[in-house]
Copies of this chain bind each other. A is one copy, B any other.
Amino acid sequence: MENEDFSGLKAYLAEKRALVDEALTGYLPEPKGPAANLLRAMKYSLFAGGKRLRPILCIAAAEAVGGSDRDVLPVACALEMIHTYSLIHDDLPVMDDDELRRGKPTSHKVFGEAIALLAGDGLLTEAFRLMSLPELTEHVPPLLLLEVIRLIAGAAGYGGMVGGQVVDIEQEGREVDIPVVQFIHTHKTAALIAASVGAGALLGGGNKEERTALTDFGEKIGLAFQISDDILDIEGDSEAMGKRTGADAEKGKITYPSVVGLTRSKEIQSALVQSAVDRLGGFDHRADPLREIARYIIERKK
């Protein structure tokens, strides 16, 4: 892979991130009334500096099949809320017990464990309210929207993200083989990323073939993305990342480097990205942001 400067991609990501941030700001009211702390906690984590990878992938997939970002915004924002809830719960002392995320104290360090737990619950629930807002059905057939809700709930639930987290927790500190780490990563991370791309393809009006290709693409880059997280925990700069590196090894987390070594992990990651980009062979220039995002996964520093 040649040395790219990714300047076009960076402008694209900044533009879409601003769009998502603006929409997210509009969806949650100002914290007031007896339950104000709940909304404060929900917003604290939602605006703690996330990359907005899932919403941007959703938008980019919609654009790749000829749709527009405006059509998918509530669903894109819902994906970010689901991702954020999973981080809040993951950071809790009964789970990974992390004190820092993106350079800021985690939710339970700021609001206490009970409010952090409930902020996660609130974000997960609100995600599904967003996906059923009437503004979406001005652009999208209601049946298609129900399919999107089903796709995302399936990817986030016991057959996807939550299932992956259970195995991640249960296997911590054990010796495992490749199928187990693959199960954890495809469920814990790749499922929701693939659903983000798949939802964008559906909402953007993609045909069946386009949707299958984009979902495959999403699964591959989702797995590559989690492997790059594993690698950054070893090679990354803790200041750039805003969290302590080396934590995975200390905790005995199951990672690709811990199972197959660093060199083989990088080979697997490169092959996944190449295979993901190949899957976009039938798409025109409108899929360029997806192609560049895939390549950027290997280069990213945080």
Instruction: Give chain A's interface residues, CB within 8 Å of chain B.
Output: 34-35, 37-39, 42, 85, 89, 92, 94-95, 113-115, 117-118, 120-122, 124-126, 128-129, 131-134, 137, 141-143, 145-147, 149-150, 153-154, 156-158, 162-167, 169-170, 180, 183, 187
Chain B residues with Cβ below 8 Å from A146 are: 132, 134, 137, 142, 145-146
Give 28 CB contacts A-B under 8 Å: A34-B167, A34-B180, A35-B167, A38-B158, A89-B117, A92-B94, A95-B114, A114-B169, A115-B166, A115-B169, A115-B170, A117-B117, A118-B169, A120-B121, A121-B121, A121-B162, A122-B157, A122-B158, A126-B157, A128-B128, A128-B153, A129-B149, A129-B150, A129-B154, A133-B150, A141-B142, A142-B143, A145-B146
Partner of A125, one of B115, B133, B153: B153
Q: Interface residues of A: mostly helix, strand, loop or mixed? A: helix
Of all chain B residues, the one with the shortest Cβ separation from A154 is B129
Contact B147 A132 (CB under 8 A): yes
